[in-house]
Every structure is written in C-alpha cells, then in structure tokens.
A and B are shown apart, each in its own frame.
Chain A
Amino acid sequence: MRPDRRTFLKASLLAGGGLALEAFVGAPARAAAASNAASGGQAAAASAVLTAFVSIAPDGRVTIVAKNPEIGQGVKTSLPMIIADELDCDWDAVRIVQADADLARYGVQVAGGSTSTPNNWLPLRQTGAAARAMLLQAAAQHWSVPVAELSTAKSRIMHATSGRSCGYGDVANAAAQLAPPAPGSVPLKKPEEFTIIGRPVAGFDGPRVLRGEPLFGIDTRLPGMLYAAYEVAPAHGGRLVQADIAAAKAAPGVRHVVPIKGDGNADTGLADGVAIVATHWWLANQARRKLVAEWDVSAAKGHSTERYRARAQAALDAGGGQELRREGDPDAALAAAAKRVAARYDYPFLAHGTLEPQNCTALFKDGRIEIWAPSQTPARGRELVQKMLGLPALDAVTVHVTRAGGGFGRRLLNDYMLQAAAIAHALPGTPIQLIWSREDDIRRDYYRPAGWHGFEAALDAKGRLTAFTDHFVTFGEGTRVTRAGDLTLTMPPADLIPNVRFSQTAMPTVLTTGWLRAPGSNALCFASQSFLDEVALAAGKDLPALMLELVGEARVIAPPGGRGAPFDTVRARSVIEKVLQASHWAAQAPARVAGAPARAKGFAFYFCHQGYFAEVVEASVAGTEVTVHKVWVAGDVGRHIVNPFGAENQVRGAIIDGLAQALMGQSIEVVDGAVQQSNFHDFRLARMPITPEIEIAWVRSDHPPTGLGEPALPPVIPALTNAIFAATGRRIRSLPVRLG
C-alpha cells in the first residue's frame, strides 16, 4: 500500500437492522463519490475504493465480504480472519460473501503476485478494530458505564464490575447510529492477544466442496442455458478464412453454429473461431469434427521450438545483446580473474494446466451482459468485454466472481471471458456456458516463456566472486519483451557484488505468453542458483557458504530506481542458516566417490514476492529414476502466519509444483505455431507417488506478513538439480531434467 493512501470508514444501518461498516482506502474527499457510484449505478473512476466490508446483524451474525478471487490460495478464509480477530467475534458466526467485480467500488480485485495479504493486513485490522470500538461505545452508552470498563470475547461484551453482558447483535443497531472512529485512532491488538490470526482455520468453502455443491465457474446453471465449444485455428496467430457449418449444425443436440471474427489482437483480444452451441457440452464438442473450416496460419510459419533453440544458441554464440544493467566493470574483473566459470542454461515453455478448464457463462439481454467467471482479474475482464461489445457504460457488464479451480496465473488473462461474451452477444436472451476441452486449454495457454542464459563469473585468487554476467535470450520485438519474459534486474548476485552485467536478446514469437506462479523467478532461480552452485564448487566451497558470503553484513539494499521490494540481508541469512540447521547440511557426506550410493542434498535460496526462502532437497538417482526423499523449507514472510492451514498448503503445493516442472518432463513444444502437447499424458502434472516428505520451518522476523502463493516455489528446482549433481556429477543445465 502506498503511504499517501489511508483508510477511512463509513458506517450505516443495515437494511434488515444492524451495523454495516465499510472501509475505504484512498483520498477521503472522494469517499462519498465512490460510495454513490456504487449504489447509484454511476461508473466513476474513484480514487477511494472499498477495501473491507463487515456487518453485524441483530442476531449476532457477522458478514464479511471477500473481495479478491479465491483460486485455492485461501484468501476467502484468511482475509476475513484478519477482520474477525480485531473485531473479537466468534469465528463460527462469520459468513463470507464473495464480491462481484466492480472497479469503481473495490478497486483492483486481483488474485496475483502474492499481494492480498501485504496490501490488506493493516486496513482489515483497522476495520475490525473500529467495528469493535463502535459496538463497545454503544454498549457503554446503553449501560451508562465508561468504555474502559468493558471487555469483549467471542462476539460478547462484558462489564465485569456489574456482571452484565450482551451479544454484539444486541447493540448493532445502536452502533450503526454512531460516527465511525478514525481508523488509526483505534488501538490494535497486541500479537499475543490474537485469537483467530495464527490459528489453523479450515477453508470456509470446504464443507460445500466436499458435498459437491455448485461453487466453481463450470458449475453455473441458468434456466434455458446451452453449452458452447469454440473451435480456433490449429496454430497460434491463425485467422478464420471461411467455414462450412452445415454438417456441424445438423449434428445431434446442436442448436447454433456461429462463426466469430475476432479483432486480430492475438494476445488480449478476441480470437477468431467458430462457436458450436448445443444442449450438452459433449455434443457441442463432438460436432467440432464436422466443421469444415479454412484457416490462414501463414503468420505462424517457422515458429517452432526447435528453431527458437537454434536462434537462441546463435545469439549466445554471437554475444552482445542489449545492455539492461551494468555495475562496475565486469569485463575488467573477468580479465583479471584468477578463475572464470561460464555455462549456458535454458528452460522450456510451460502450460498452467488449471484442473478446472477455462470456462465462462454469459447472458446478453436488453443491451446488458451478465457474466459468471472464474477469473483472477475479473474487473479487467469486465472492461475488456465492455470495449469489445461497444456497450455504452461499464454498468452494462456484470461479472460475478466464482470460485476458480486453480489459477497459477492462467486466469489473469480473460480470453475465455471475451469468447463467452461474443457468443452470448450473438445469441441474445440465451444463457451460454463456454467450456474449453483440455486440449483447447493446453494448446491455447499464455505460456511461461522459454529462456536461455549465457552466464559468466569471475573469481579472484581468494575464491571470492568479483563479477557476474548474464546474456539472456528471450522473446519479444526489439526492446519490447513478451509478457513474463523479462529479466529480474535484482536477481542475485546483483547488488551483492561490485561488477555485474545483464544483457538481453529478444526474438519474436507467435505464442501468447503469460505469468506462471512466481513468474520470472520460477525460471531465473533455477538458472542462476544452479550456475552459482557451479561457481561455488570452482571456488572450493558449497553454495550455502557462497550465498552467506555474498549476503554479507546486515543491511537493507534498496532496489535500483526505488522500484520493487528492498532486500534485507538479515532475513536472507536467517532462512539460509535455518534450513542448513534443519536439514543437518553440515553432516552431509563429502563428494561422491565411485561406487557409493548416488544420494545427496542440494541447496538453493531466492527472494521474490517479498518472501525469503531457502530450501534443501535430498534426492537419489538410480538410472533414470529420481527419488526425492525429503525437502526442507525455511521461509520468512513476516511475523505472522495468518492461517497456518492455508500457509502450509501453499508451501507444500509450491514445492511439489516445482518438482513436477523439473521431473515430469513438462515442456510445451511448437511446430509452425501449433502446440504439440494436448492433454495430461504428454503434459504431465505432479501425482501422489512423486510427493516427498516436506518439513517447513518459519522464521518469524519482525515485519508485517506478506503473501505465500508464490515465493516457496523457485528454490526447490535448483535445490533438486544441485542435489542431482551432488549425487551423480551430472550438471542439469536444461529443464526439464532428462536422465534417459
């Protein structure tokens, strides 16, 4: 949260009685405008947005609005926990309602970047505390006693001196008449007073999921709804020339076949396609075989992964590239080096494979469109739909946010929402549900971009790292890099040594690319921490020793240009030391000798999304079989783990996700713009048998809590490949790991 934006509150009487408290973040003068825009239906770009909503009904029931999408990261439970704790209410009386997408009212509602916790921690606490203060004040007035004599616990207010007590609901109406306090003026709980934060709380939707109740986007059911499949070009960037739809239209169950001309924007726009709309999705999908469509795929000619690889190696051979960052004089340091280490690393395109395939339900009627979508950026989708359909105001588009069956960054893009909206727009009055087949999903993803690195490092006579250079080959046009294909300019050891150069060469691609869980870091950490393992070896030490030496003395390093999170060396050192201790790193056997069992530990560290993680993998290799025996994780995301249940799940999931990227052969291959993988047999996801034991240790530094959806993932991949090297002497410089 930016320091110039502060929280302020608005109290009102609930329609059915009770206290409603809304917290806005932004400029106070605009609060009324934001609120009016929401209730009066005027779309206004307000500078103050609703960040929290809590209400207490006369029967004591507490309702909290969850504004950010739930994709499995647990925010629908963990954010309300923060309000509920300061409110000091009975968690069992809390009901959580998912908010619709509304930029004017809520601001950005995004599930991405591990931002929900750090952005909401303080405003949510202030809101809960203010609501409690108002209830206390109402009770104090009612009993004519000083507020200071009152205490609360589990939704009840007690007056110890007189023995009186009442429920929150009993004073909710009276509290609604009071002016809300300034949020900063209400004292917050001390950490030791928390009763909900830090306690393992089961996910709010859990029981409903286990009963099979409709929660996900794909579960949306509307009267008279039909199901749609959407046939797109066989290659990325392809355009529809013409389509003979007669046979498809005559197929069983098919009601409509609608060729749709897109806008030519292959990235964030509407893709050309033919919609087949039927009574059942399976019938619509079957009828795709009967379509005779002609596509122009000439733009994708020559766009093949093999060719990308060759071009990347040629670029690395040629050297140079556009200089992105230089510190000191890396060339002089390399020339003066006692020892130089050079190596190339690469990694492939990856799909997301959310288990719930992309889908969206839409109804266009009387100039308005209503949408039900499992989106990570619903408000952004809403704007795109308005623009695409040329609707006069944002108000003509309603987006209901459903639970999403996984996100991992895939649903930050709203391509499927545009398709559903275009189909619904062509069939006014008929609700349609667009579902992608798994094949559609694997072939039309926004892929984690492949990348290549040419590293070089200089060591001085004392084995100290004096220079580090990286020539990065990525995708883009000229200096404009494709989405998620950029190099993090603070990637360690930058800012930890004097001489650094990062340079870049970009080549064009027709593939759409995007953010995958821990974007950038998921690939850069593998490449850089594996290379630094080589450097450490050349310097006669191990990677943890090198990292501790680089991290050096206690200091906070500001990011260049002031953008991004500062790097705290104390926090980095703490997690490294913690994981070494937990994994008994020092007791590791010396380098492998011939005939000894191929089993060893590997280490890696990374800092991203404001989280510090050091991880150790113990693995053994027999032929092509890799067994990951155990993973130790040490993480620092601040002084509080809001919900240990959800937090540990995020870490375990990230670890297994990373292991799968390395060990399950995950790689998206392309020939002339056509993706060669299609389903879970050739784009394999983690399964239970690969799951190792995972031990998590938290380092609770004295900082506000930050997010956990992403930062645990990156280190596990190089920790694994470094373990494979330690066990076998085989250096893994290319993902996925191939030992066959």
Chain B
Amino acid sequence: MGYRLHVNGQVHTVEVPGEMPLLWVLRESLGLVGTKFGCGQALCGACTVHVDGVAQRSCSVPVSTIGDAKITTIEHIGETPIGARLQQAWLEIDVMQCGYCQAGQVMNAASLLAATPKPTREEIRDAMAGNICRCACYNRIETAIRMAAGIDPAGEAHDGGKSHAT
C-alpha cells in the first residue's frame, strides 16, 4: 500500500505494508539511517524521532498511523534552534563513546527542551530515562542538555543515582 509521508520538510511516497514501523521505512525505504534500531520494543529509545515535534519511538509506530503528521529525524534536527544548540553542546564536551544511541538521545532531549525550556535535574532524568546509552555517557548527556538549555551545568547539587535491587 502507498503512504505519503512528510519527512524533514519533504514529501515521500512509499509502498509498504501499513503495519511496518516507521523506523524501517526511514532506514530502508528512504535511506535515512541516522535513526537507529536498538530493541524493536520501545525499550531503548535509539529510534526516537519527532512526530509533530513530539518524541516517539519509531520502532513502534506503524506507518499507517502517521497520516499528515510532520516527521523530523536526526538528519534534520540541526535546522531547529534547539537541535542546533544540543548538537553544539554535545560536541563541546565530547559526549559520546560509540555514538550509536546519540541520535535518539538528541531527539529526545530536543523534545524535552521544546516542552520544558529550563528543566530541573530531576526532570531531565525522568525525561531521558527511556533512552539507553550502553556506553553510559549519562553524566555528559545530562550536562550537555543543561548547557543547551542555558542552565549552569554545576548549578544544582547532584543527589545520587537511584535503583531498585530486587
């Protein structure tokens, strides 16, 4: 079946089954490989894109549900002021190790800052909890988001990392 998709300011027509997740349409029909496959179950956030400006896990969004919504991917996020600030902050403090999750991290962070321009540390941690960085560059991801938001990176005391050992 044919679908008309608005991706990064362009209109594309693709012939794929409607249940196919957006991720695979982006990567394998449109050649936009910046959006990554990590888990296929919306558990890791590597595939995060914006659908009408809101972060979505593209591995779990069937292409048939997109309709006229505007999709933005990592290839285009630098065109937005928030995206550009995030990319700059990311490079300035050399956030990444392997880099595989970083597209998803930046897309998720851009969605956060669009909704909450000056997030607290707790708000950043809550919003980013769905994005796994296997190399664990979390300290720097958090710092880069604070830099992009214009918050003094050292401003708020760190009160430790929590987890349940059960």
Chain A interface (Cβ < 8 Å from any Cβ of B): 71-74, 200-203, 205-207, 209-216, 218-219, 221, 227, 252-253, 279-283, 353-357, 403-408, 435, 437-438, 620, 624-630, 645-646, 649-650, 652-653, 655-657, 659-660, 662-665, 679-681, 685-694, 736-740
Contacts and interface: CB of A to CB of B under 8 A. Distances in A.
A200, A665, A680, A738 — which one has the most chain B CB atoms within 10 A of its CB?
A680
Contacts of A646: 94, 97
Interface string B141-166: 11000000000000000111111111
Contact of B140 (A357, A649, A686, A738): A649
A289 B111 CA distance: 36
Contacts of A685: 44, 132, 134
Interface string B62-99: 00000000000111001000000001001111101111
Given A620-B160, A740-B164, 16 more contacts: A72-B96, A207-B91, A210-B106, A212-B75, A216-B100, A282-B21, A355-B101, A355-B134, A630-B158, A645-B94, A657-B136, A685-B132, A686-B133, A687-B138, A688-B138, A689-B126
Secondary structure class of chain A's binding surface, majority of residues: loop
B127 to A, nearest CB: 9
A203 B97 CA distance: 8
22 contacts: A202-B92, A209-B99, A210-B87, A210-B102, A216-B100, A279-B28, A280-B28, A281-B37, A283-B17, A355-B134, A625-B162, A627-B160, A649-B135, A656-B136, A659-B161, A659-B163, A662-B165, A665-B165, A680-B41, A689-B161, A690-B163, A740-B166
A124 to B, nearest CB: 21
A402 B139 CA distance: 27
A475 to B, nearest CB: 26
B97 A280 contact: no
Contact of A652 (B130, B136, B160): B136
B160 A692 contact: yes
B41 A630 contact: no
Contact of B99 (A405, A653, A681): A405
B158 A693 contact: yes
Contact of A437 (B40, B93, B133): B40
Interface string B16-51: 110011011000110111111111110110100000
B98 A71 contact: yes
B53 to A, nearest CB: 18
Contacts of A437: 40
Nearest to B145: A688
A426 B132 CA distance: 36
Interface of B: 16-17, 20-21, 23-24, 28-29, 31-41, 43-44, 46, 73-75, 78, 87, 90-94, 96-103, 106, 124-126, 128-142, 158-166
Contacts of B31: 221
B75 A211 contact: yes
Contacts of B36: 216, 218, 355-356, 405
Contacts of A740: 164-166
Nearest to B162: A627
Contacts of A216: 36, 100
Nearest to B16: A280
B94 A206 contact: yes
Contacts of A438: 38-41
The 5 A-B pairs of least Cβ separation, nearest first, read A212-B34, A72-B98, A405-B100, A740-B166, A656-B136
B74 A211 contact: yes
A60 B150 CA distance: 38
Contact of A691 (B29, B98, B132, B161): B161
Contact of B162 (A205, A279, A626): A626
A628 B138 CA distance: 14
B161 A628 contact: yes
Contacts of B39: 438, 679-680
A25 to B, nearest CB: 28
A705 B39 CA distance: 37
A150 to B, nearest CB: 34
Contacts of B131: 687-688
B96 A653 contact: no
A628 B139 CA distance: 14
B57 to A, nearest CB: 12
A203 B96 contact: yes
A620 B20 CA distance: 46
Contacts of B138: 652, 656, 686-688, 691
A644 B159 CA distance: 25
A114 to B, nearest CB: 14
A659 B125 CA distance: 17
A692 B136 CA distance: 11
Nearest to A352: B134
B142 A688 contact: yes
Nearest to B102: A209
Contact of A625 (B23, B41, B75, B164): B164
B38 A357 contact: yes
A689 B162 contact: yes
Contacts of B20: 280, 282-283
Contact of B132 (A72, A627, A662, A687): A687
Contacts of A686: 132-133, 136, 138
A646 B91 CA distance: 13
Given A221-B33, A280-B24, A212 B103 contact: yes
